[in-house]
Amino acid sequence: MPASLTQNPLLGKIRITSNIHVDTGLHIGGGGETLDIGGIDKPVIRDPITKYPYLPGSSIKGKLRSILERLLKKPLNRTGGSGTYRYESDDLEDGFTEIDGMIIPYEGAKTCQVSRLFGSTGGSKFWVRTDLAIEQGLVQDDGEKEKKIPRKTINNQEHILVDRGRNTSARLMVRDCHLVEESAKVLREIDTGLYMTEWKFENGIDRVTAAANPRQLERVPAGSLFKFELVYTVEEEEQTIPDLKNIAIALTILEDDALGGHGSRGYGKIRFQNFEFFYRNLNDYQNMSGNASSSKNPIKTAGDTAALLDSFGDLTDEINNRLLSASEGN
């Protein structure tokens, strides 16, 4: 059976909660409906009901993916907009992308540490080892038609051109981050002329004419606190710990980077505080009662990213024990 027709297993869910403390003013743009004279050039994104600023999960997830791609030294094998390039697994199986005559290897989404966490969209017109492509149903083995498909020898092995690769779903979900109520109360009372945010005035200077180009940006003020939550789907026992370690490392690197726009100008420094890890296996879901379940209590806590990395061995033991007990129960 082709791999694309098999269902990914579901062994459980690991939920990680924390708080995001904003150390320097943060800007994630929301796009203005109108451009008023003397108004903000770049407003922040807000909840349409409460009008509170929030941090989109997509922005955090995209930043974590970018960090992990660089950490794992993934090649740029997919063209993006405005002349940019990015990394994707063109298929579940390993293969090669061809861009402007360059042959670029990619790792198949079945094993790629980036693609299995963040998902990937199948590529088009890429090379896969001929025997694998036929076995997996990526090309039709129907005699004369199959013989006409272009082939290429790469690394001393015959590869065949595949029209369309298979997608893979993301195991990692990052939720939108909303203000902690205590922080929202403080922001509602600040007097900046903006609701719960601050102005940041800047001047762009033309390097030739020295003409000034003033602009006004809206920022979430330093000291704001947001609720953070991500959920990891456990599909392969042996990949769970490496995936969680990559997440922990990426969160740590993010603290020394920036979230949102204009990071090189000091915006977007954040810290993660008070981690809690929760785990539910299939037995927990199937046997859950109205009273409670053991999954309401965290299996691990850590005050910050440094403590999280220091105690990762203990977390590994706890998760492995729960995975083992779940498999024995089945």
Residue 244 lies in a domain: yes
Residue 119 lies in a domain: no
Output the pLDDT for position 118: 97
CA distances from 18 to 15, 124, 174 (A): 10, 39, 12
Residues 133 and 52 in one domain: no
* Residue 52, pLDDT above cutoff 90: yes
> What is the count of structural domains for the chain?
2
Q: Extract the tokens encoding 265.
A: 């100008």
User: Could you tell me which of 218, 201, 223 has the C-alpha nearest to residue 270?
Assistant: 223
Model confidence at 148, in pLDDT bands (50, 70, 90)?
confident
Query: Residue 178 sits in which domain range?
Result: 3-67+172-329
Residues 141 and 212 in one domain: no
For 279-290, how does the pLDDT look when each residue is reduced to its tens digit (9 = 90+)? 998 888 887 655
Higher pLDDT, 216 or 307: 307
- Residue pair 162/137 in contact by the 8 Å Cβ criterion: no
Residues 215 and 150 in one domain: no
Residue 117 lies in a domain: no
Residues 231 and 294 in one domain: yes
Whether this model's pTM surpasses 0.85: yes
The enclosing H or E element of 118 equals helix 115-118
> Which is it for the CA torsion 199, 200, 206, 212, positive or negative?
positive
Residues 55 and 199 in one domain: yes
Stretch 112-136: mean pLDDT, rounded? 94
* Residue 55, pLDDT above cutoff 60: yes
**How far apart are the C-alpha atoms of 138 and 108, rounded to whole Å?**
14
Residues 92 and 152 in one domain: yes
